[in-house]
């Protein structure tokens, strides 16, 4: 469990996060929604000790992120993929990039080879293992960063606006990857400022001005965020179906189509 307890974070004299109290349990699929500058990235960095709370505390599976003796335990459990994949890629080939983190963890070579193979196959980049990372597309670079994290086998996978610089096809690929990762048992936490993307999550944490303004189901936040985020035809359509009792939650396109086919039979 990742737990924020009365957590504040200030950068110099600027207050970024204020009195954050929440828990994210194992196996959850959470979207952190908020406009730029609302503290999403700072919240994620607090989760694995890249930042420390100015006041209060953050715990990962009972370990305080301020405990210097256990910070690497925290970081093994919480893997973060940041918004810009370029800032995380360090290897001269795809395979070497995945190996970098494993080498830092001291993983034995035979196990390292198996983990690299497994991670690249999972994200669909195994055929590019000898390619230079700069030759990958934007979506493929993001998938490489996912492979980097997967190879280290974290319990919690955190992605900071993973689709913000993507074309529609790459966005869909990344979001389906998150669904796939959740399906095999990972806790998924990702941030977004796009209303369409909240349909993939089971829980929404909505940040406004550094505070948790809402924490609950996607269907319960749509009306609340309309003024700030605008409307989405896809989400509005689903809300109409929800109000009529045809669906009981929000779905991605494929799941919604399946539900409607079953409903019409």
- Please report, in tens digits, the pLDDT of each residue of the chain (265 residues total): 999 999 999 988 899 999 999 999 999 999 999 998 899 999 999 999 999 999 999 999 999 999 999 998 999 999 999 888 888 899 999 999 999 989 988 899 999 999 999 999 999 999 999 999 999 988 899 899 999 999 999 999 999 998 887 788 888 888 988 999 999 999 999 999 899 999 999 999 999 999 999 999 999 999 999 888 888 899 999 999 999 999 999 988 888 888 888 888 7
> What region does 61 belong to: left with phi over 0, alpha with psi -120 to 50, or beta?
left
Judge whether 253 lies within some domain: yes
The CA distance from 57 to 5, in Å, is 5
Together in a domain, 160 and 249: no
Residues 152 and 71 both lie in one domain: yes
Number of domains forming the structure of the chain: 2
Compute the distance between CA of residue 164 and CA of residue 160 in angstroms, rounded to an integer.
9
H-only helix segments in 1-132: 40-47, 71-77, 94-105, 109-123
Residues 188, 253: one domain?
no
Domain, as residue range, for 26: 2-219
User: Do 195 and 259 share a domain, yes or no?
Assistant: no
* 176: nearest Cα among 185, 163, 164: 163
Q: Is 70 helix (H, G, I), strand (E, B) or coil?
A: helix
Are 139 and 47 contained in the same domain? yes
**Are 199 and 249 in the same domain?**
no
- Rounded Cα–Cα distance for residues 169 and 163 (Å): 10
- 253: Cβ contacts below 8 Å, ≥ 6 apart: 234
Degrees, nearest 5: CA angle 225-240-167 = 60
């Amino acid at each position: 469990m990742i737990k924020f307890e009365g957590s504040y974070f200030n950068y110099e004299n600027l207050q970024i996060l204020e009195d954050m109290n929440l828990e994210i349990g194992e196996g959850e699929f959470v979207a952190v929604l908020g406009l730029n500058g609302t503290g999403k990235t700072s919240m994620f960095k607090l989760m694995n000790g890249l930042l420390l709370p100015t006041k209060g505390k953050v715990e990962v599976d009972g370990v305080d992120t301020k405990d210097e003796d256990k910070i690497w335990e925290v970081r093994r459990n919480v893997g973060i993929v940041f918004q810009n994949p370029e800032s995380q890629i360090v290897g001269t080939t795809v395979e070497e990039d995945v190996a970098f983190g494993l080498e830092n963890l001291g993983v034995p070579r035979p196990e390292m080879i198996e983990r690299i193979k497994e991670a690249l196959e999972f994200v669909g980049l195994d055929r590019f293992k000898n390619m230079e990372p700069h030759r990958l597309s934007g979506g493929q670079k993001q998938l490489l960063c996912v492979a980097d994290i997967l190879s280290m086998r974290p319990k919690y996978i955190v992605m900071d606006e993973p689709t913000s610089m993507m074309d529609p096809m790459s966005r869909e690929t990344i979001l389906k990857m998150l669904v796939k990762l959740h399906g095999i048992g990972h806790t998924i936490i990702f941030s977004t400022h796009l209303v369409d993307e909240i349909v993939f999550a089971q829980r929404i944490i909505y940040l406004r001005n550094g505070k948790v303004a809402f924490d609950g189901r996607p269907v319960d936040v749509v009306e609340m965020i309309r003024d700030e985020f605008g409307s989405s035809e896809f989400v509005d359509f689903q809300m109409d179906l929800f109000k009529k009792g045809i669906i009981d939650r929000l779905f991605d396109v494929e799941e919604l189509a399946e539900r409607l086919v079953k409903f019409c039979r």
